[in-house]
Amino acid sequence: MRNTFSEVLYQEASRNPDIYIVVADISPAGSMSKFSMQYPERFINVGVAEQSMIGICAGLALKGCRPFAYTIATFSLYRPFEMVRDDLCYQNLPVTVVGMGAGVIYSTLGGTHHTMEDIAIAGAIPNMQIVAPCDPAECTEATRWCAQQKNGPVYLRIGKAGEPDLTRGADPWVFGKLRYLRRGADVCILTYGVITKMAMALADRLAARGKSVSVVSVHTVKPLDCEGIIAALSGHRHVIVIEEHVPQGGLAPQTKQIAWDIHAECRLDTFTLQDHFIHNYGSHDDLLAAHGLSIAKIAQRIGLD
């Protein structure tokens, strides 16, 4: 996904001389080096200085430019939090804060590199928008939208590398509207980001048991498509939320809130990261499983096995 992001940003930058990227000492993946070679004056590496990364983006935006701040998600959002809040959100500037490798993707680097609370944190700030694409194709649409939108700040939560294509044949990507990757009548899985791959695999398992399953990419996490969520809750007997985020402040509690408000009658199960730090190492899947997020565990919880 990061290579896709870099390539799309490079394309947008070749069309728009106001696009800048401000990175914090992150190794130049994919087209990022092409960007830095082609437009060196618009490729700024602040080094390990994330507060200035956000402040410089704010200054560029105050002068009408369209900057992207880019580094590993923990460092793009947590470290410079007050700059994100005051400089970007309070002033409502069209800056994209890219959180790369969000969730527990950095699965061997330990808890300091896990981004488990970013949706809650970014989503709590007024004016902030959150987009979390599920595959390279969605990342393309989202990045293009970020480069062209004028609403205000965006937190763009992306994965790292190797995400499969999941959206082929799906409805067009529209900011603020959830998107059916497959449509069914019985069960609906709401999800976003890299873990959508797991949701698709779970859907296959359910389908093999004769269930008709929808899988929905809630790529715009803020503002949430409440109407779309209501339609999903009303149109299926069983709704499942799967997200790579702590239980607080993400899609799961928001879906429950909407369900309560509309007196939803469907069954609703939520699967999230746990509300604690883990000290495990291994693959991304290993860490998700340590948090209770695996096909087997979810299948067991919903009574599939």
Partner 1 sequence: MKASIPARANSFDEALARERCRRYRRRILDISQQVSALHIGSAYSCTEIVDCMYHALIRNNANGSPRDTFLMSKGHGCMIQYVILEELGILSRADLDAYCTPNGRLGVHPDYGSPGIVAATGSLGHGLSMACGMALAEKGRKTGNVIYTVLSDGEVQEGSTWEAVMMASSLRCDNLVAAVDNNDFQSLGRTSETHPSFYPLLDKFRAFGWEAVEVDGHDSRAIFEAVTEREGSRPFMLVAKTTKGKGVSYMENVPIWHYRSPNKDEYSRAVEELEAAR
Q: Which residues here bind partner 1, judged by CB under 8 A?
A: 17, 20, 41-42, 44, 46-47, 49, 51-52, 54-65, 67, 82-83, 86-87, 90-91
Give the SS3 label for residue 192: coil
- Rounded to 5°, angle at Cα 231 from 229 and 235: 120
Nearer to partner 1, 58 or 104 (CB): 58
Cis peptide before 223 (omega within 30 of 0): yes
Measured from the CB atom, is 71 or 217 closer to partner 1? 71
Element at 66 (helix H, strand E)? strand 66-72
Of the two residues 61 and 119, which places its CB atom closer to partner 1 in the complex?
61
Q: Which residues contact 35 (CB under 8 A, 6 or more apart)?
A: 6, 9, 10, 13, 21, 42, 43
CA distances from 192 to 70, 102, 135, 203, 224 (A): 20, 12, 10, 14, 12
The minimum distance between CB 41 and partner 1, in angstroms, equals: 6
Q: How far is CA 299 from CA 157, 198, 241, in A?
A: 27, 11, 13
Is the CB of 52 or the CB of 149 nearer to partner 1? 52
Which of 93, 122 has the CB closer to partner 1? 93
